[in-house]
Amino acid sequence: MVSRALVSARWLSGALKAKRAPALRVLDTTWYSPGGKDARKEFAERHIPEASFFDLEQCKNQQSPYEMMLPSESKFAKYAGELGICNDSHVVVYDSNNSGMLFAPRLWWMFRVFGHNNVSVLDGGLVNWMKQGLPVTSEMAHVTPETLQVTLNRSLLKSFEDIQENISSKRFQLVDARSEARFRGPEPKAGEDIEPGHIPGSVNLPFSNFLTKDGYEKPEHEIRQLFEKQGIDLMKPMTATCRRGVTACHLALASFLLGKEDVSIYDGAWSEWFHRAKPEQKVFEKRNRA
């Protein structure tokens, strides 16, 4: 079963009132950089009723030197299963970022890349759920562990080697979801070990362009115009990238809404590329003009 990629707060509120659980499972996937705010603590204080917390920091490849690499199939299946998710579950994901949606599309893509297509993003996230006066709670939902069987859909995932080969072959369009400043320059933030720049041949389309000022996904005709303005052909293969493989998933979500369901993600993203690629395979525009 494939659910619509976005659900409204009104729909989710009605589904929760109708007691559609356990078929319906709601997940808060708010994330902060280690050492920052405590997302799990915030969840304990305030979340959508019946929601569970999905910790992206825990459910990732802990051995990778890069920030947000996919876990193994078995780890994802075990982690999600312990949150009461089975193959019959309709999963709705959200986060509490003030932008409306920041990390939820990453988890939406993770479920899809592991073969669970019955997943949706809450349009507008927790901030707009609360603006509509809908309830939040500090009560923890009682969850019965389930068994989730997963299979990695490799067509939705690209590796460092795939991107490297594509520089010359141009088999697919590479679209970068970071801000223009991160894509082209200027200087990196203090304390960061990674400089702004981009992969040769990539096109910049910041993920924030897909969101309204209130934090909802823009209408489909506006999304289509954004792709067209950047010369991106939705009829051709496309891979999305960003800093750590998170905001790239906004591009996959936006494309999905237009009927393009095969956008892949470069999971290592610029974080991996910056540290592994040869100097001639990295573009630093501001530096080059200096």
Active site residue ranges: 242
Q: Output the 3-class SS for the chain.
A: CCCCCEECHHHHHHHHHCCCCCCEEEEECCCCCCCCCCHHHHHHHCECCCEEECCCCCCCCCCCCCCCCCCCHHHHHHHHHHCCCCCCCEEEEECCCCCCCCCHHHHHHHHHHCCCCCEEEECCHHHHHHHCCCCCECCCCCCCCCCCCCCCCHHHEECHHHHHHHHHHCCCEEEECCCHHHHHCCCCCCCCCCCCCECCCCEECCHHHHECCCCCECCHHHHHHHHHHCCCCCCCCEEEECCCCCCHHHHHHHHHHCCCCCCEEECCHHHHHHHHCCHHHCECHHHHHC
